[in-house]
Amino acid sequence: MKRKKKAARRGSTTVPQVVVIKGAEVLTLDAQERRGRLDLRIEEGRIAAMGEKVPTRGVTRVIDAKGLVALPGFVQIHVHLCQTLFRAQAEEMELLDWLRERIWPMEGALEVPEMRASARLGIAELLLSGTTTILDMGSVRHTDALFAQAEALGIRYVGGKTIMDRGQGYPAGLRETTEEAIHESTRLCARWHGQAGGRLRYAFSPRFVLSASEEAVRACVHEARRTGALLHTHSSENAEEVALVRERTGMGNVEYLHSLGFSGPDVVLAHGVWLSPQERALLRETRTRIAHCPTANLKLASGIARVDELLAEGVHVGLGADGAPCSNGLDAFAPMRLAALLHKVRGGPKAIPATQALRLATVAGAQALGLDDVGTLEVGKRADIQLLDLRRPHVWPPQGDLAARIVHSGRPSDVHTVLVDGRVLVDAGKLVVADVAKILREAERATTTLRRRALIDA
């Protein structure tokens, strides 16, 4: 009883159950890359035992996983929950026009009800498609609503408000001074970093070099290192963006950020499409992480990051869907499949094998976020687990390479069960922590309101 009360005080929303997953085909994705038909016993949110037969004493629930595949939940290291309501409303545009003409006007029009609806819709999609951890970049305001919904719906969440204290052409809802930006960022970090038993963490998040002052970037670095939070920004996504950064600073994105201290193993740079050889070397030497978002890069015609080469050079890479308006989906299957396919065109058929793509979508993402207790299935690790039902025509027959079946043939609809910290969030394909029909109704109403407020329907 004492142990249960202690767990509840650490921030769990319910007393953790003792769960046994029986008879799954397990892909551990650990260093040994073990695979076999195993049981998993989960206690207090962690994998307590794993083997051919685990103890069932004191079990609250047994999940019959015969015929299912167990693997770590997906870890996506670049998404935008604040943009989920914008899906299919910013089409056929390049990055900077896309931002100025559609994304920033809609972000600037967000109020708390719309932010809440956007977060709930995005988290529902992520959980139903097997993603258990995200690194999210919010908008300038209403970031508390993102954390609150992540806390309520159970996803493992790293995120922060974006900073836009420099530049022109922003709507009123995105304008802020440097002092306001840093004050709000530090407040949010103090409020949310480490909450929900450590499931929520903060990331200081200047949007990109063109919208954040040098003072703000330096302050983010200082605060992140002081508090143990992460640093997250966009970098080298688009050729025009890179040219403007060089015109203003005399350096490339990565070089400039590094000159301000914004580099290292606690830094995630989204995209990295347009990198000089010197910048690639800097990424390797500083152990700065890159979030590869191939779906968004293709849709916005930004280019293709040379991820196979970055990996060969020792740069750490994870995957992300980016936002709903630049990828039209938040599931991890699309970027994982593209990561496994795109680089074969230049690097040959052995570039990014299926197992490596699966690792990019799980353990590599966890490592990029400094989360050493998720991303693999091992005794002692957090029970962030997905069960896939591959008994479907599009992934059949069962013979052959299991990782290839998941990466090249898998779909979000194959996700059967999802657990985070041992709590079942998706059960037999159904979200059990919220009413999906209600989430859809709320999102529809919020989008109508948002479009009117942003003058899109004018």
DSSP letter for each residue of 376-394 = S--TTSB--EEEEE--SGG
Comparing CA positions, the residue from 7, 46, 11, 79 lying closest to residue 376 is: 46
Query: Given a cut of 80, is residue 112 above it in pLDDT?
Result: yes
Please report how many Cα atoms fall inside a 13 Å half-sphere around the Cα of residue 296, on the Cβ side.
Answer: 29
pLDDT interval class at 34 (50, 70, 90): confident
pTM, whole model, 2 decimals? 0.95
Cβ burial, residue 91 (10 Å; 0-12/13-18/19+): exposed
- CB of 137 closer than 8 Å to CB of 108: no
Residues 191-212 pLDDT 10s: 999 999 999 999 999 999 999 9
Query: Given a cut of 60, is residue 136 above it in pLDDT?
Result: yes
pLDDT interval class at 16 (50, 70, 90): low
- Over residues 270-290, mean pLDDT: 98
What is d(CA 298, CA 391) in angstroms, rounded to the nearest whole number? 31
What is d(CA 353, CA 100) in angstroms, rounded to the nearest whole number? 38
pLDDT interval class at 12 (50, 70, 90): very low
For tokens 């040994």, name the residue. 32
Top-tier CATH class for 2-72+382-431: mainly beta
Query: Given a cut of 90, is residue 8 above it in pLDDT?
Result: no
Domain boundaries, the chain: 2-72+382-431, 74-368
Query: Given a cut of 50, is residue 1 above it in pLDDT?
Result: no
Q: How large a percentage of the chain has pLDDT more than 90? A: 92
What pLDDT, on a 0 to 100 scale, did the predictor assign at position 6?
39
Cβ burial, residue 178 (10 Å; 0-12/13-18/19+): middle
- CB of 117 closer than 8 Å to CB of 147: no
Top-tier CATH class for 74-368: alpha beta
What pLDDT, on a 0 to 100 scale, did the predictor assign at position 5?
39
What pLDDT, on a 0 to 100 scale, did the predictor assign at position 458?
47
Comparing CA positions, the residue from 441, 446, 325 lying closest to residue 80 is: 325
Query: What three-state secondary structure class fits 456?
Result: coil
- Over residues 221-250, mean pLDDT: 97
pLDDT interval class at 2 (50, 70, 90): very low
Give counts: helices (H), strands (E), the chain: 19, 18
Q: Which stretches does DSSP call E strand in 210-285?
A: 230-235, 267-271
Query: Given a cut of 90, is residue 13 above it in pLDDT?
Result: no
Query: Given a cut of 90, is residue 47 above it in pLDDT?
Result: yes
What pLDDT, on a 0 to 100 scale, did the predictor assign at position 111?
97
Comparing CA positions, the residue from 146, 159, 77 lying closest to residue 117 is: 146
What pLDDT, on a 0 to 100 scale, did the predictor assign at position 4?
40
Query: What three-state secondary structure class fits 356?
Result: helix
Residues 54-95 pLDDT 10s: 988 899 999 999 999 999 999 999 999 999 999 999 999 999
Query: Given a cut of 80, is residue 15 above it in pLDDT?
Result: no
pLDDT interval class at 167 (50, 70, 90): confident
Residues 309-366 pLDDT 10s: 999 999 999 999 999 999 999 999 999 999 999 999 999 999 999 999 999 999 999 9
- Over residues 114-125, mean pLDDT: 98
- CB of 297 closer than 8 Å to CB of 274: no
| CB-CB neighbours of 221 under 10 Å | 21
Task: Look over the chain and give the mean of its residue pLDDT values, rounded to a whole number.
Answer: 94
